[in-house]
Amino acid sequence: MKESTGHSGPGVDVDVDVIVVGAGNAGLCAAHAARERGASVTVLEKAAAETAGGNSYYTAGAFRVPHGGLDDLLPLVDEESRARAPRTVLPPYTTDEFHRDLARLTDGRNDPELSAALVDGSRDILGWLAGHGIRWQLLYDRQTYLRDDRWVFFGGLNVGTVDGGKGLIAQHTGAAVASGVTIEYQAKVVDLLRDGDAVTGVVYTDAAGAERRLRARSVVLAAGGFQASVERRVRYLGEKWSHALLRGNPASTGEILDLALAAGAAPYGDWSTCHSVQWDAGAASDGGERSLTNQLTRQSYPVGIVVNAAGRRFIDEGADFRNYTYAKYGREVLEQPGHIAFQIFDAKSRPLLRTLEYDSSPITEFVADSLEELATAMGVDPEGLRAETERFNEAIDTSRPFDPSVKDERRADVIPPKSHWALELNSPPFYGYPVRCGITFTFGGLRIDPESARVLTEEAVPIPGLFAAGELVGGVFWGNYPGGSGLTLGSVFGRSAGYAAAGS
């Protein structure tokens, strides 16, 4: 079926089995699942077709899933990944490790039932998505270091979609339309239709601005969080978040969350923090860049140092693999003077940086033959950076060999410490990358039933006809998250929501 451009006749009610609000990864997973069960499905997407895909479009397409190691993944991945397999070290990532990572990164505040549903549901999600047209690759460019001429994976994040988030959305959309899903773009949902406590459809405006009503047995909300609304960021996260750069979807402004709350849904989870990263300081503030997408992130900080405008370090760059720290370090940048920081590398560490990010163009980059010259060019206090670097270099435990593919315990005993991967900054030329806080998605959302993804009230009673998936689900991520688990969460609960919505 071709993509719909609108329903005929002004104000006409049209019946459908399942409405999905949002055409990102979670929404399209819900659409696939509902179609599997024979339901008619209409997806309403706020953005135009050329700017659709939600936050999923702007990702690297990485999925965190449990698996048995390289041999377990090879049947799912592309030819290029299989060709590299003889020179690849990729250890298993178990369900127990996934559970532990969720618990330790959220300080144990993650909802245990939701987390169990996520982990258990993720075990077969790659194969299920492959059956719906998603193509997989091993993430060599982002998740390996070369050691003894072998690619060594680290940090439990190993597989992603071919062509990243762009490929994920293109493959999802093609499969959905081929299966008979109707996708209507520039369809802004403005209200939920209700019959007593039950949700029975939506009111939306179409591309021409006309108001429409669409009735359904079930409605799945998959429209993301509120990160694109400066007003909501300030209200829930604090005033400083008005200075964050929006790294993703500009349509995720939170009105769908508000509609659900008005219908009796319970707010749930961590409404005070979010996923935020170190982002190119020269990037736009009001939405992601659709050609570069995730290439504006700066995630090789574990092999360098990060300083503020005074030249002082303020985080432990080597506290853990970057997959476990990058989503919380954006807010640490936001706390610095001028809401800016600077990643510093030298000639030894520069070749270790992620090519897709640090060799992308355009990029905010400074190169100099001395640290003082580098600092002056970037607007950093030269004396402060020189003194900080001297303290750092002198404090490194050089008895430990440097190995970025493992937690090498090569420490620098300074304040704050650097727990792993401490390399002396003493080999010109020196490289500097100014970064700001790039907000990705908000952690607070709606409370859902872990098995069916039904939206729950404050009394934990399901709201008839209403389901939710993706970034507007609260309760799993608090303060931080394991990299790649956002797309997995969207897929797992999107599938659950689609199955249950089709059976309602």
CB 305 within 8 A of CB 254: no
Please report which helix (H) or strand (E) contains residue 307, including its range. Answer: strand 305-307
Question: CA 447 to CA 261: how far, in whole Å?
Answer: 10
411, 420 contact by CB (below 8 A)? yes
Q: Identify the pLDDT of residue 6.
A: 35
Closest CA to 499 of 438, 451, 456, 461: 451
Distance of CA 173 to the CA centre of its chain: 19
Show the tokens assigned to 63: 């999925």
User: What are the strands, taking DSSP E only, across 198-273?
Assistant: 198-205, 211-221, 245-246, 267-268
Segment 17-38, tens digit of pLDDT: 999 999 999 999 999 999 999 9
Within 68-210, strands assigned E span 88-89, 136-138, 144-147, 150-153, 159-161, 182-184, 188-195, 198-205
Which tokens in the block code for residue 224?
Answer: 């993301």
Q: Is the pLDDT score of 7 beyond 90?
A: no
What class is the 274-438 domain?
alpha beta
The neighbour count for residue 96, using CB atoms within 10 Å, is: 10
Write out pLDDT tens, residues 63-96. Answer: 999 999 999 999 999 999 999 999 999 999 999 9
Domain with CATH 3.90.700.10 in the chain: 274-438
Per the listing, tokens 């409370």 go with 447
Instruction: Give the three-class secondary structure for 440.
Output: strand
Considering the chain, what percentage of its residues have pLDDT values greater than 70? 97
Under the banding of pLDDT at 50, 70 and 90, the label for residue 1 is very low
pTM for the whole structure: 0.96
Please state, in angstroms and rounded to a whole number, the distance separating the CA atoms of residues 107 and 459. Answer: 26
pLDDT for residue 11: 42
Distance separating alpha carbons of residues 299 and 317, to the nearest angstrom: 10
Mean pLDDT throughout 272-298?
96
Could you give phi then psi for residue 333, rounded to 5 degrees?
-65, -40
| Residues pairing with 195 in the sheet | 198
Q: Which CATH superfamily is domain 13-56+167-273+443-502 in?
A: FAD/NAD(P)-binding domain (3.50.50.60)
| Six-digit token string for 277 | 């990263």
User: Above 70 in pLDDT, residue 14?
Assistant: no
Give 438-463 pLDDT, tens digit per residue. 999 999 999 999 999 999 999 999 99
Task: Write b or e for each residue in 237-268: b if 16 or more Cβ atoms lie within 10 A of its Cβ, otherwise e.
Answer: beeebebbbbbbbbbbbbbbbebbeebbbbeb
Please state whether beta strands 305-307 and 274-280 pair in parallel, antiparallel, or not at all (unpaired): unpaired
Mean pLDDT, rounded, for 307-312: 98
pLDDT at residue number 13: 52
Is the CB of residue 219 less than 8 Å from the CB of residue 203?
no
**What's the rounded Cα separation, in Å, for the pair 55 and 222?**
11
Where along the chain do the CATH 3.50.50.60 domains lie?
A: 13-56+167-273+443-502
Q: How confident is the model at residue 504 (pLDDT cuts 50, 70, 90)?
A: confident
Q: How far apart are CA 176 and CA 128, in angstroms?
A: 14
